[in-house]
Amino acid sequence: MKHSDRILVLAVLAASVLLFFGVRVVRGQKSGTADSLQVSVSVDGEEKEVLPLSKDVNVRIEGRGGNSLMVHIEGGEVYVTDATCPDKLCVHQGRIRTSGEMIVCMPARIVVEIL
């Protein structure tokens, strides 16, 4: 390994570390607190519910094709506990807590997003 190769490897590593921490700082500034964030639930592009992320609640959302989701908000996190869609991918997407994150159920055309 030549001297110039070592410099290149170190430069790439340094850029990676800076990028990693830069993204964390920017994401932290955008995330807000659970008190200031809201959960938007849309069906086929039409907003049906806007709920505070700071309040624990369960709500059933009726989607398209007879499908529905049970959306659960607890401890500043949102997740789907039950779905009538065949693949249940929305249930397996897990918990979201940061602004911009979303859970999508394509068969029901439901989007749960943190604003």
d(CA 6, CA 77): 44
- Do residue 25 and residue 70 come from a single domain? no
pTM above 0.85, yes or no: no
For residue 17, what are the domain limits? 1-31
Cβ atoms of 41 and 62 closer than 8 Å: no
CATH classification of the domain holding 80: 2.60.320.10
Distance from the Cα of residue 45 to its chain's centroid = 17
- Percent pLDDT > 70 in the chain is 89
Confidence grade of residue 24 (pLDDT, cut at 50, 70, 90): low
pLDDT, tens digit, 9 for 90 and up, residues 59-73:
999 999 999 999 999
**Average pLDDT along the chain:** 88
CA distance 102 to 42: 11
The reply to whether 50 and 89 lie within a common domain is yes
16 with 53, same domain: the answer is no
d(CA 91, CA 68): 12
Across the range 46-65, mean pLDDT stands at: 94
